Amino acid sequence: MQVKDSIGSFHEVPDYIWVPKPTLAGFKAEVLTSAPTTVKRPTPNFPNGDEQSPNTDPEPIQGKACKQVPHPQSDFSHVDPNDPYFVANPAVYKNSPGYRRLEAVYTQLLDKLARLLDEFSKISGQSDFDIARDNYIKFVEDLDDHEPEKGRGVFPGKQGYGKVIKWFSIQPTKAAASLQITALTFVVKWNPHSSSSAIKVP
């Protein structure tokens, strides 16, 4: 599958999150499985692992890329990049601690989603498909949980990032001829901006 990064500006809340059909046969009918499986996406580079306590990685404070996956309860506050001041001074915006942390979290989430989708290209039967589908749904449910500390729990690098997401969407792109899904667009609405990527499914 292939991923292309882009930053978008979305003003309306999408109402679609794709979920695979419950059977392997239904999935094969819905998804164009002949698509290439080569993975091209940002590769997470966090040599110091996961941030075990909020705001302990010093790199984003210094305007540098995170060396740890930010803790879900770290400070992600930032100014809207559409603000005229930041349009004129993008380096100031992109080097702010909040943006650097969001950048790192988005790369981590994108990588995790791509890996979950990769699993669908390796299935050999319904039981394998059920596991891949369940793992994908757990990922979706976690991102949709805006108060993870009250239920699912907060685990740095693994789950609890729905806390910093206003909304997200996973929408399919279909081939004109077959109407089968060829790619998914992953959109994350932070507050106040959004990130999006197109992922080619297996």
Q: What is the pLDDT along the chain (202 residues), one digit of tens a residue?
A: 233 333 333 334 445 788 888 999 999 898 876 544 444 556 678 999 999 999 999 999 999 999 999 999 999 988 777 778 878 888 888 888 998 999 999 989 988 988 898 898 888 899 999 999 999 999 999 998 888 988 888 999 999 999 888 888 888 888 877 888 888 888 888 875 556 556 556 5
Tell me how far apart the alpha carbons of residues 17 and 168 are, in angstroms, rounded to a whole number. Answer: 8
Predicted TM-score (pTM) of the model is 0.83
Map out the domains of the chain as residue ranges. Answer: 3-200
What does the buried/exposed string (b/e) look like for 145-159 if buried means 16 or more CB atoms within 10 Å of the residue's CB?
beebeeeeebebbeb
Tell me how far apart the alpha carbons of residues 68 and 154 are, in angstroms, rounded to a whole number. Answer: 16
Helix (H) or strand (E) holding 60: none
Tell me how far apart the alpha carbons of residues 178 and 45 are, in angstroms, rounded to a whole number. Answer: 38
